Amino acid sequence: MYEHSKLVCKSAIRIASFFTSTISRRLSNFPGQIEQEIKTILHKVDEEDVSAITSVLEQRIDGVSRGKLFVLAAFLHDIGKPKTATPKLTANDEFKLFGTSIGTYIEQKFSDHEQVGAMLFLGVAEQLGLSEEQTMYIYKLIKYHKDITDAVKDARKARAERSLVLRRSLEGIAVNYRAQDIFYEAVLLYLADSMGKTGELSFSNDIAELEQAFF
């Protein structure tokens, strides 16, 4: 879980660094071809949106760029998982297991971890030295970070109507993201989260289902 959070944070730094200089290139640790790969991954983002994303990430909330706060949100996005972890069960009420190269583990589910995590974050934000406005910005990113993932999963269950269900869900999500003033960052956090599942600069299979441009 911690390793995933580190990968998501690293992916968020890479993505944000593509759009803004407020994220240190030193932190990004770019290989030479990284910018071209990000351009390929974000091929549906046109020049107008690139400019808009740059403008948003360079805005400052009480002296700190939204880009840097976005990276912090990426690192903290799953803090609700330990508190919500429960074992997944088979149809016979046995533990679901999954194996790795270093052992076999009980598969877990983390129901409502985004809601719980957002509330947990409120409890530690002051200790992190965050202002009230900075806190609410990160709180919203944590709270809503799973919306697109849920939309993809629900669309898969719809089978023949998959594309229509996904499009309608994304339209509703976009309205909420814009109302919360986190539209670009929330979408980029979804991308970083997807990259963090693979352990490299590539997206998990979930991203392939977002065929229509979301920006």
Average pLDDT of the segment spanning 134-153: 93
| Helices and strands (DSSP H and E) totals, the chain | 11, 6
Per-residue confidence (pLDDT) for residue 30, from 0 to 100: 47
pLDDT reading at 67 higher than 90? yes
Q: pLDDT tens digits for 91-125?
A: 776 667 666 555 666 777 778 899 999 999 999 99
Neighbours of 203 (CB within 10 A): 19
In this prediction, residues 137-163 reach a mean pLDDT of: 87
> Which range, of 5-14, 34-43, 111-120, 164-173, averages the lowest pLDDT?
34-43
Residue 181 Rama label (left phi>0; alpha psi -120 to 50; beta): left
Residue 156 CB partners (closer than 8 Å, separation 6+): 162, 209
pLDDT, one tens digit per residue, over 204-215 is: 455 555 544 455
Average pLDDT, the chain: 79
- Please choose, from the candidates 117, 158, 154, the residue with its C-alpha nearest in 3D space to the C-alpha of residue 138: 117
| Cβ atoms of residues 209 and 194 within 8 Å | no
Give the per-residue pLDDT at 15. Answer: 83
Report the pLDDT value the prediction gives residue 151, as an integer from 0 to 100: 87
> How many of the other CB atoms lie within 10 Å of CB of 76?
24
pLDDT at 20: 83
Residue 27 has pLDDT above 60, yes or no: no
Token representation of residue 71: 């990276």
Q: What percent of the chain has pLDDT over 90?
A: 34
d(CA 69, CA 61) in angstroms, rounded, equals 9
| For residues 26-41, average pLDDT | 52
* Res 203 pLDDT > 50: no
Q: Does residue 195 contact residue 7 with C-beta atoms inside 8 Å? A: yes
